[in-house]
Structure 1
């Protein structure tokens, strides 16, 4: 027994509908892009309302993430942070030049 969907199809009408769908495809893509942009903006506003900006000045003491430098290998149970280090210069955009407690300047990672 054939299904209603296969029996009731009109080939001419179906081709017209497919062409119409192709014409409207670009509009649907634009609507999806607008919806995506709105969602990203909403998430950004939510995050920025709760995040607290931290800046350091020369002379401040900080710890550095061991994930970034891999200075101490300890595996899963190894230390997550290393330091303390002294900030000697603020380079801008949350980048700093650091000096260890013995006076050696740390190289960039």
Structure 2
């Protein structure tokens, strides 16, 4: 086997591992059958002993005929899995909302005001909410009354308790 024909073992492991979201391996969704791993070629197994080329060709054709059905079933499973994950997330998600006059901290990473490094503060402020813009965006001002140039989304703010 030439160097260009070898598949790195990490890719092989990824392509032949069953995925929870689809219930299939990526290899089987592409080729319509399960891969024979190199270890099975070296160690005699039932699959290798019972190999018959003529029946294998018929089986491959049958698998290719069923390939679209397998892909549709995998797509349905993946959609159900995404819905399940979304339901789990939505159950624990608590949207943040602030009123005019509330004090908040701003996420330092979101503002990128200054690179404080690894040990720097994660939050900056406090700021006062002076206006509410569309889609959970807030207009802020510093404590001294100076207005902040841009609006901040609620996901980058947290309540400041005095």
Say whether the fold is shared (TM-score over 0.5).
yes
Partner of 1:106: 148
SS in 1 for 2:89: helix
Partner of 2:76: 34
2:112 matches 1:79 = no
Q: Deviations over 1:45-94 (max 9, x none)?
A: 12222222221122211110001012243211100000111112222322
1:1-109, aligned counterparts within 5 Å? 5=48, 8-11=51-54, 13-108=55-150
Q: How far apart are the structure 1 equivalents of 2:61 and 2:50?
A: 21
Assess if the C-alpha contact under 8 Å between 1:72 and 1:79 holds in 2: no
**Greater strand percent: which structure?**
1
Structure 1, unaligned stretches of length 5 or more? none
CA RMSD of aligned residues (A): 2.2
- 1:6 positional shift: 6.5
Structure 2, unaligned stretches of length 5 or more? 1-43, 152-162
TM-score calculated relative to the size of structure 1: 0.81
